[in-house]
Structure 1
Amino acid sequence: MSTLKRVFGFDQLRPGQEAVISAVLAGRSAAAIFPTGSGKSLCYQLPALHLPHLTLVISPLLALMQDQLAFLHAHGIAAASIDSAQSREQSMEVMNRARSGELKILMISVERLKNERFRNFIAQVPISLLVVDEAHCISEWGHNFRPDYLKLPDYQRQFGIKQVLLLTATATPRVIADMREKFAIAEADVVTTGFYRPNLNLLVEPVPGGAKAQRLQQWLAPRRGQASIVYVTQQKTAEQVAECLARDGLAVSAYHAGMGHEVRESIQRRFMAGELECIVATIAFGMGIDKRDIRNVVHFDLPKSVENYSQEIGRAGRDGQASDCLVLASRDGLSVLENFVYGDTPELAGIRAVLDDLRAAGTGGQWELMLGQLSEHSNIRALPLKTLLVQLELRGIIAPRYAYFAEYRFKLLLEDEALLAQFEGERRQFVEAILACSKRARTWSTLDFDALYRQYGAERARVVKALDYFQEKGWLELESKQMTEVYVVLDGGFESETLAADLHAHFCAHEASEIGRIQAMLGLFESRECLSRRLALYFGDEQAPERCGHCSVCQGHVATLPQPPELPPLSGRDARALGAAFVEKHRQYAGHEPSHECLTRFLCGVTTPLFTKLKARQLAGFAALEEYPYAEVRGWLTASFV
């Protein structure tokens, strides 16, 4: 407790924190399931100061890392991150601090663990605790599932890390069970503090789509000067709504992933400093943002799920003061939300293309792939493709070996002879071999690993280690690209048609689960029982009061979400004419007409890797039917082309 006061300035721990911190300091793995803003981060920050070695934190977003690092630095704690925004020199400096034992906390993304150079480095550093932030990403049954998180239990064993701490604000009972099982956490060491926050007023107001902008202006008018976040689904909506509010004189900005990194950083800083009173954002904004006086969170469009809703309203009222969380509810954007889900289900033909590629390697063989190339070849988006690879792992067909950059190139900062003069004997011969097997352009040399191995028997790991060492010494500048993942094929004798159908069924089940998640959200917003209670029960918390007294239902306003304007029946459209430009372009490229599924995606505006290649957005008919339910368009096309 003396560290708590001396370093962090807190007199006492919040509910749940003491149990988690005690478990970690006693040498046990634990999980903290606390609502957003309830102090999960302290559960690793405080123990990190008492543990003998490094605490390694896996965090899914750069914004999360930056916010937590700013807090740690402000309290004089030796913490750093390695992330994509850094220069190579900055990364090397952080690695050196970790090696020397100077760092107490190192933050990385899970993808960093696929980097062979980083893995070589981290294997040399003793680690006391592995922390997984946003740990619900581990579960396929949670929202924001990230396939690479499934590999964390293997990494834990590989690096000999004895303890794990899982942190999340949004985990249903099913997801918690999944997390516990994957990391062997005792039930007693899963600490849940409940999801009910008495200072949040949950308000659902049915508003037809065309009237939402005006209602938002009215609602925010008496709240001028208060910090507010307005969440929207699409980037263009963020721009339009921000423009609309700016005309009312609000200090407001849009915020979305289409903006440059520096622009987003600047907007975030201005909001944190109080220069902007309102942000109109896609879900790209908010994770890890610890602004304690956000008084209003508005969902202009429907959130993606109950979990997303809970996470986003959790950014309001962290100072404990009453805050309003309003949903301007209608079914207008429902098709757009569902289209995101349908677009992530691979076509059966795409799954078969991956299996054919894998099968060519044969049992016991090595299967090498570049995700971008395989995504383009199979027409499967990157995230579902990663999920497909994980499913193949879970079925015992492949096992990950390592990932490496296919290409390394370097620029010598001293003459060849000066570099060779640093070494003697066998080591000098080894460096000579590296130089001899490097194809030199004007200033950059590209390394030929195959030639190095054939002619000199030089192992790749040793070469990469040597190049890193040369860079540390300032003898060369190093660049790497084309991430290649290497798997060993454990079982290449599968029956392709059967396995493809099985995997496709898995994705279809996940699709149905995600559509069900959207329906659960609609059920929450149209609930006749207390919204606070209903939300808590979704996450398995039965401690919330029967009636909170301050949600829209408790105030006597049960919402019925208005239907979108009725669309003309599809039966009156000409399917062949609508898709003609795309069908012709597809035929020229692939030699055959697109499947009904592929054409459905084109007409509903659901992007795929193939569409990017064909520049489909520029073709007549793209997104012509985006307002219609995807399943309805698919059924109509199938009937039209019989």
Structure 2
Amino acid sequence: MNLHQTLQQYFGFSTLRPGQEAVINTIMAGQSAAAIFPTGSGKSLCYQLPAVLLPHLTLVISPLLALMQDQLAFLARMNIPAASIDSTQSFEESRAVMQGVREGQIKVLMISVERLKNERFRQFIGQIPISLLVVDEAHCISEWGHNFRPDYLKLPAYCHSLNIPQVLLLTATATPAVINDMQQKFALNKENVVITGFYRPNLYLEVLPVAEHDKTAALIAEISQSPSAPTIVYVTLQHTAELVAKQLSHAGINAQAYHAGMDQDKRQALQQAFMAGQIPCIVATIAFGMGVDKADIRRVFHFDLPKSIENYSQEIGRAGRDGHASRCTLLGNQAGLNVLENFVYGDTPEPEAIKALLAQLPTNGEPWEIMPIRLANSCNIRLLPLRTLLVYLELNHTIESQYSYYGDYRFKFLASSEEILSRFNPERQAFLSAVFNGSPQARTWCQVDFDLIWQQSSGERKRVISALDYLHQQGLISLESKQMVEVYKVLQPNLNLEAEAARLYQLFIQKEHSEIARLKEMIEFFESPECLSHHLAGYFADHNAPQACGHCSVCAGKPAQLPKPSTPPLPSSEQLQHWCQPLQTQSPQPLSLHTLACFLSGISTPLLNRLKAKQQAGFAKLEQHSFNDIRSALAAEREA
């Protein structure tokens, strides 16, 4: 069956959109490609159509469970056999998926990038022939992208070790720097990077300057003009979503809140009700929208500042996918800017914390085995910065990632040990006996002791896990694994800790400056005197948008100046001490200025979580102030 017959039979389309054809032809010609298409332009079809025609499995890396579930639902409707292996599944469900993949019944398998660190999964997928690796939201591989995921940096190495011949990178939000990064990391030919126009002629982009205390009234006035039109209102915080939805409801607007703090079933029901038109207005954090393919969304409001131009473009990209006129309105002021900046500052680890981490590197040639959450807690580094730090060490050839494994395996017999052993030849019987003898049984579960098994039979860990996995697949035992351990080889065991900590700290400071500059660039965009559509398209390497679109607030003669809040003066040193002293009393060691500034700014760190800082009166008291101003005031108070 040829390409267009498959397109018609499975998807009901007679033609492909511009860009889709170029990408799909590249993939079908056996080459790797990247598709840089705006939200709603059909990136997913670029792998879904080839997946039907390619001989082996298409493996899709997706950063969000919600994205996976939406795409799997679509593939099911198209009668394309697809599945995921994810954290919501029982062992029986994931075992059934693996069996379907093994037997070639599943054409598309979706996983998170973290799944590839799972020893058992790598063992399994390494035996499966794979035609294509798809990286969805591929901007995550770039430090210059808006939501860098350090584990994505390992994808080129995984691709090589799994002998995957082709890669397809998909993203809607790649600036020229990110596109260059993606090309280099996956050795893509420049001509195989397909960028379609970012410009959307049916979207009216509007920046409405509104003081913070007037935003709710302005939102109600805007929505009331057409209360039944499908609408998304984006906010930053979960409690804001609840509050704004309640205020809209009181004004007679049928609106519901949606955020990640809700029960999953409730979120699912809300999304379905919105898709069906039963709820016209959703007030949501960015947890809502990824993969939401509703064609007739007429309005997208930003009640709070988005986190970046990239986030903004993704969120407005959900409007008007049917091609009809839609309005995207930012109720703009700079009140939330300090909160966004403070989270950037809070993600920079202190030099002492970095030094504490480096001090844990073995100096005797032994492998370095870590549990990331435990390491984050012991060094007081938030988890994402910790992962970034580990990647920086890898890029500097200080450490080298070896593998991940579950530190803890246990199993229970579903058939008797005698019955299991009787199924195998004498050599395998002897090996399995050693495994069973080396796994002391409590009441029900047998705890696998790899050292004991090694002493009895020289059974390598890999062979033991393979054997247990096989018994699990056959339904003879139930196998559980937990406590993920990441193993690194230390390439520079005798580091100068001071110098290396300073080097790493500088990298974080550079990243901090880059993130703060990104926020500044976003404010400049919203206050731009030039056409918003042209400015936005240029940011994403599309230089073909009209100089003046005629459908934005600037072209309408209303360039914006975002009101700045009047920030009250910082409290007295006595007040600062009053807030900070109870926290200091709970801590066994003196708290740093950085930690106290995080506390007053409302930023959680592992140390503050341990001290139950959120229960203290001073937590987040100064969230509308600048992090650096708070830190300076604390320093002055300490010196006084």
TM-score by length of 2: 0.97
Amino acid of the structure 2 residue aligned with 1:352: K
CA distance in 2, matches of 1:325, 1:307: 15
1:472-529 deviation line (CA, Å, top 9, x unaligned): 1111222111111011111112211000010011011101111111111100111111
1:353 paired residue among 349, 352, 356 = 356
CA distance in 1, matches of 2:489, 2:570: 51
Q: Secondary structure at the match of 1:637?
A: helix
Q: 438-447 or 22-31: which moved more?
A: 438-447
User: Who is 1:530 aligned against?
Assistant: 531
User: Who is 1:269 aligned against?
Assistant: 272
1:365-418 deviation line (CA, Å, top 9, x unaligned): 200000110010011111111111111100001111111111111121122322
1:341 paired residue among 323, 340, 344 = 344
User: Who is 1:154 aligned against?
Assistant: 157
CA distance in 2, matches of 1:31, 1:237: 37
Q: Secondary structure at the match of 2:298?
A: strand
Equivalent residues of 1:581, 1:620 under 8 A apart: no
User: Who is 2:407 aligned against?
Assistant: 406
Distance apart, 1:220 and its partner CA: 0.5
Distance apart, 1:100 and its partner CA: 1.2
Equivalent residues of 2:376, 2:383 under 8 A apart: yes
Q: Secondary structure at the match of 1:223?
A: coil
CA distance in 1, matches of 2:455, 2:349: 40
1:316-366 deviation line (CA, Å, top 9, x unaligned): 1111111111101011111111122112111111111110111xx226320
Alignment of 1:181-260 (within 5 A): 181-260=184-263
Distance apart, 1:450 and its partner CA: 2.0
Equivalent residues of 2:224, 2:253 under 8 A apart: no
1:566-619 deviation line (CA, Å, top 9, x unaligned): 313445764322211111112xx3xx3111111111111110011111111112
Q: Secondary structure at the match of 1:635?
A: helix
CA distance in 2, matches of 1:252, 1:205: 21
Q: How many residues align?
A: 636
CA distance in 1, matches of 2:462, 2:237: 44
Equivalent residues of 1:363, 1:491 under 8 A apart: no
Alignment of 1:265-344 (within 5 A): 265-344=268-347
CA distance in 1, matches of 2:248, 2:574: 38
1:610 paired residue among 588, 607, 610 = 607
Identity %: 57
1:97-133 deviation line (CA, Å, top 9, x unaligned): 1111122111111011000111011100001111100
CA distance in 2, matches of 1:234, 1:125: 43
CA distance in 1, matches of 2:563, 2:554: 17
CA distance in 1, matches of 2:508, 2:82: 40
Alignment of 1:28-177 (within 5 A): 28-177=31-180
Equivalent residues of 1:21, 1:47 under 8 A apart: yes
Q: 425-434 or 10-19: which moved more?
A: 425-434
CA distance in 2, matches of 1:330, 1:173: 28
Equivalent residues of 1:364, 1:491 under 8 A apart: no
User: Who is 1:600 aligned against?
Assistant: 597
1:278-313 deviation line (CA, Å, top 9, x unaligned): 111111111111111111111100000001001111
CA distance in 2, matches of 1:309, 1:573: 41
CA distance in 2, matches of 1:455, 1:612: 44
User: Who is 1:458 aligned against?
Assistant: 459
Alignment of 1:382-531 (within 5 A): 382-531=383-532
Q: 87-96 or 306-315: which moved more?
A: 87-96
Equivalent residues of 2:594, 2:631 under 8 A apart: yes
CA distance in 2, matches of 1:405, 1:95: 19
What value does the CA root-mean-square deviation take over the aligned residues?
1.3
CA distance in 2, matches of 1:109, 1:569: 44
CA distance in 2, matches of 1:566, 1:572: 17
1:628 paired residue among 603, 625, 629 = 625
CA distance in 2, matches of 1:129, 1:264: 32
Distance apart, 1:271 and its partner CA: 1.6
Structure 2's unaligned 5+ residue stretches are none
Equivalent residues of 1:170, 1:311 under 8 A apart: yes
- Cα pair distance change 1:573/1:196, threshold 3 Å: farther
Amino acid of the structure 1 residue aligned with 2:236: T
CA distance in 2, matches of 1:118, 1:420: 25
Equivalent residues of 1:363, 1:489 under 8 A apart: no
Equivalent residues of 2:567, 2:624 under 8 A apart: no
Alignment of 1:345-384 (within 5 A): 345-358=348-361, 361-362=362-363, 364-384=365-385
- Cα pair distance change 1:400/1:566, threshold 3 Å: closer
Q: 472-481 or 262-271: which moved more?
A: 262-271
Equivalent residues of 2:573, 2:637 under 8 A apart: no
Equivalent residues of 1:232, 1:281 under 8 A apart: yes
Equivalent residues of 1:137, 1:149 under 8 A apart: yes
User: Who is 2:548 aligned against?
Assistant: 547
- Cα pair distance change 1:337/1:199, threshold 3 Å: same
Equivalent residues of 2:142, 2:181 under 8 A apart: yes
Amino acid of the structure 1 residue aligned with 2:150: P
User: Who is 2:16 aligned against?
Assistant: 13
Amino acid of the structure 2 residue aligned with 1:284: A
CA distance in 2, matches of 1:441, 1:269: 46
Amino acid of the structure 2 residue aligned with 1:328: L
CA distance in 2, matches of 1:43, 1:489: 41
Q: Secondary structure at the match of 1:353?
A: helix
Distance apart, 1:253 and its partner CA: 1.7
